[in-house]
Structure 1
Amino acid sequence: MRVLLTGGTGYIGGTVLERLIVKGHQVTALVRNSDKAKVVRAKGAEAAIADLSDGEAIRKLVAESDGVIHLASPGDETGAAVEEVAVANMLRALQNTGKAFVHTTGVWDHGSGSAITESTPMNAPRLTAWRVPIAERVRTAPGVRSSVVAPAVVYGRGGGLLNLVAAGQRTAGDAPALTMIGPGDQHWSTVHVDDVAELYILALEKASAGSYFLGASGVNPTVREITEAVSQSLGLSGRVQAEPVAHTLERLGLHGEALLLDQQASGETARRALGWAPSRPTVLEDIAATSFESAS
C-alpha cells in the first residue's frame, strides 16, 4: 500500500514508519525540513517536505496515496488550529474514495476512570479537549475507511513520559527520594511504543469505517509504582516522595492536569476486532532494563 505518514520522525511515528517498511508498504513521510527528510529516507521512506497547514500540498499527497496515518502535531499552542486545517484538507481529499485514514487522539480524552473503554464518555482535560470534535469528524467522514487510535501513556526505547518521571526533583539529605507527579495513587494506562505502532498498522490494513481503538496494553500501574521503579533504576533505592497537587500543577501546568488523571484501560476492542496482541515488556519491566540519566 502507498501510505502517507505524518509525524514519521516523532517518538511513535518513527516506530510506525519502521513497522510499515518491514510490512512492505511504500511510505511517503511528510516532514518539515531537509534534516528530517534525511531521517525518514534513512529508514526507507520517501520524503515530502511540506507544512501541515499547506492545504494544496496535503491534498495532493493524500490523493497520491492509498491510505494515510496521521500522527504529527506541532506540540505547542498552535496545535489545535493546525490540526483543524490539516484534517480538513486530508478528509477533503479522501472523501468518497474508500481509502484508509488512521487518526490519533489519546486515552486522556476520557478523563479519569477505573474501567475505560471506547464507549466511556469523553471528559478530556483542557490540554487535549480540542482533539475530541476533530476525532468525531474523522470517524463520521463520508466514504472514508476512517479509524482513530488513542494511545495510552507510551513507553519503551528509552523515550516517552518516563523521562519526565526520571527528571523529577530529589529531596534533600543523605537518602534523597524522587518526587512523584502528584500523590502517586493515580493509575496510568500504558503501552509499549512497538506494540502501539503495530496497532496503527493493523488499523490501516483492517479497521472498518468509523472505528475507534484504545491503544492500551491492559497494564495500569500507579504513578507510585512507576516512580519507585524509576527511583530504583536511578540508584535511589526506590525511595519516592509525593508531590502536592498544587505543586504539580504549578510545575507542569495543563500537562500536569492530564498526568494527574486516574486511568485504567484494557485495549480489548483492538484485540477482538483487529487481532492486536501487545507482547512487549510491561512498563515496570521496561524501567528495570532502562538506564535513565540522573538529574537533580
Structure 2
Amino acid sequence: MRVFLTGANGWIGSVVARELMAAGHSVVGLVRSEEKGAALLAAGGTVVVGGLGDLDVLRRGAADADGIIHTAFGLDISRIGELAAEDSAAIETFGEVFAGSTRPIVVTDGFLHLTGEKALETDRPEVMPAFPRASQQTAFALADRGIHANVVRNPRSVHGQGETHGFVPMLAGIAREKGFSAYVGDGANLWPAVHRLDAARVYRLALERGARGEAYHAVAEEGVPYREIAEAIGRQLGLPTRSLTPEEAEAHFGPLATWVANNGPASNAWTKKVLGWSPEQLGIVADIERPDYSC
C-alpha cells in the first residue's frame, strides 16, 4: 500500500513509518519542514511538507494514497480548542477524499474519558468540553457515512528509549525538582501502557484489516499500579519514593495530579484477537529501569 502518514517524524509516527516500510508498504510522510523529514527520506520514504491546517496539502497527499494513518496532533495544550478544530477538519478532509472507496483511514486518540472502569474497544465516548479533542468521534462519524475509518487508542504512557515529552519524562522532571518520586495514597491505581514499537504494529495491522468504525487499543499492559512506575523512576534517578495525600499531590504534581491519582485500566483482549497482535517489547517498569533509558 501507498500510505499517507501524518506526524511522520513524531514519537509514534516515526516508528509507524518504519513498521510500514518493513512490511513492504511505501510511506508518504507529512512533516512541518524538510529538516524534520530527513530521517524518513533516509529510510526510503517520501516527504510532504505541511501542517494539519494545510487542507490542500492534505487533499493531495490523500488523493494518491491507498490508506491514511493520522498520528499528528499539536503539543501546545494551551491551544487545545484550536488544535482540536484543526484535527477534526483534517480528518473530515481525509473522509471527503476517500468517500465512495474502501480505502482505510486510521485515526489516533487516547483514553481521556476515565471512569475507573476498564475501557473497552466498544466504548464510544462523547467529546469532553474541557478537552475538546474529537479525533475518534470525527472518525466514527465518517464510518457512519460508509467511509472506512477506524481509531487506534493509545494509553497515557507510550514509552521507549529516547522519550522526551510523554508522562515518564514529565514525572521524572518533577521528581528531580522535588528530590523524590511520588505516588498518591497506596499507589494502587492502574495505568495502561505500551512500548511504542508494539503500538506501531497495531497501526499497521489496523490499516491492513481495513474495516470501518472499529477502535483498537494499542495497550500492552492493561493496568500497571502507579506505585511501581513511581518506584522505577526513583530507582532510575537514584531518588527515594514517597506516598502523598491527595492534597499534597496537588502541590507536588500540579496539573498532572489528576492523572497520577486516576485509575484508568484499558482492555486489549478484542484488539489482540481480531488483529492477531501480541506485545513483544519490555513493559513500562522494565523499560524505565534499563540503564540506557533516558528519564
Q: TM-score range by the shorter chain?
A: 0.7 to 0.9
Name the CA distance, whole Å, in 2 between partners of 1:33 and 1:186.
41
Which residue of the partner structure matches residue 286 of structure 1? 287
Q: Identify if the C-alpha distance between structure 1 residues 12 and 268 changes in structure 2 by more than 3 Å, giving closer, same or farther.
A: same
- Where do residues 74-153 of structure 1 align in structure 2 (5 Å cutoff)? 74-76=74-76, 77=79, 78-108=82-112, 110-120=113-123, 122=125, 126-127=130-131, 130-142=134-146, 144-152=147-155, 153=157
- Deviation larger for 70-79 or 36-45: 36-45
Name the CA distance, whole Å, in 2 between partners of 1:230 and 1:158.
15
Q: Identify if the C-alpha distance between structure 1 residues 249 and 44 changes in structure 2 by more than 3 Å, giving closer, same or farther.
A: farther
Which residue of the partner structure matches residue 264 of structure 1? 265
Q: Identify if the C-alpha distance between structure 1 residues 127 and 222 changes in structure 2 by more than 3 Å, giving closer, same or farther.
A: farther
- Where do residues 199-214 of structure 1 align in structure 2 (5 Å cutoff)? 199-214=202-217
Name the CA distance, whole Å, in 2 between partners of 1:178 and 1:18.
34
TM (normalized to structure 2)? Answer: 0.87
Equivalent pair of 2:4/2:30 in contact (CA under 8 Å): yes
Identity of aligned residues (%): 27
Equivalent pair of 2:6/2:31 in contact (CA under 8 Å): yes
Give the superposition deviation at 1:218: 3.2
The C-alpha deviation readout for 1:165-196, integer Å capped at 9, x for no partner, is 21124587xxx532347873421111111111
Name the CA distance, whole Å, in 2 between partners of 1:249 and 1:104.
32
Q: CA RMSD in A?
A: 2.6
Which residue of the partner structure matches residue 188 of structure 1? 191
TM (normalized to structure 1)? Answer: 0.87
Which residue of the partner structure matches residue 166 of structure 1? 172
Give the superposition deviation at 1:118: 1.6
Name the CA distance, whole Å, in 2 between partners of 1:262 and 1:288.
23
Name the CA distance, whole Å, in 2 between partners of 1:155 and 1:199.
15
- Secondary structure at the aligned position of 1:154 is classed as strand
Name the CA distance, whole Å, in 2 between partners of 1:8 and 1:181.
36
Give the superposition deviation at 1:231: 0.3
Equivalent pair of 2:159/2:193 in contact (CA under 8 Å): yes
Which amino acid is 1:55 matched to? L
Equivalent pair of 2:197/2:281 in contact (CA under 8 Å): yes
- Deviation larger for 85-94 or 129-138: 129-138
Which amino acid is 1:230 matched to? I
Equivalent pair of 2:140/2:150 in contact (CA under 8 Å): no
Give the superposition deviation at 1:197: 0.5
Equivalent pair of 1:5/1:70 in contact (CA under 8 Å): yes
Which ranges in structure 1 are unaligned for 5 or more consecutive residues? none
Which residue of the partner structure matches residue 4 of structure 1? 4
Give the superposition deviation at 1:216: 1.0
Name the CA distance, whole Å, in 2 between partners of 1:89 and 1:24.
27
- Secondary structure at the aligned position of 1:115 is classed as coil
Name the CA distance, whole Å, in 2 between partners of 1:233 and 1:128.
35
- How many residues align? The count is 287
Q: Identify if the C-alpha distance between structure 1 residues 124 and 86 changes in structure 2 by more than 3 Å, giving closer, same or farther.
A: closer
- Deviation larger for 206-215 or 122-131: 122-131
Name the CA distance, whole Å, in 1 between partners of 2:253 and 2:286.
28
Equivalent pair of 1:168/1:179 in contact (CA under 8 Å): no
- Secondary structure at the aligned position of 1:148 is classed as strand
1:47 aligns with 2:47: yes
Name the CA distance, whole Å, in 2 between partners of 1:130 and 1:252.
25
Which residue of the partner structure matches residue 216 of structure 1? 219
Name the CA distance, whole Å, in 2 between partners of 1:250 and 1:132.
32
Give the superposition deviation at 1:35: 1.2
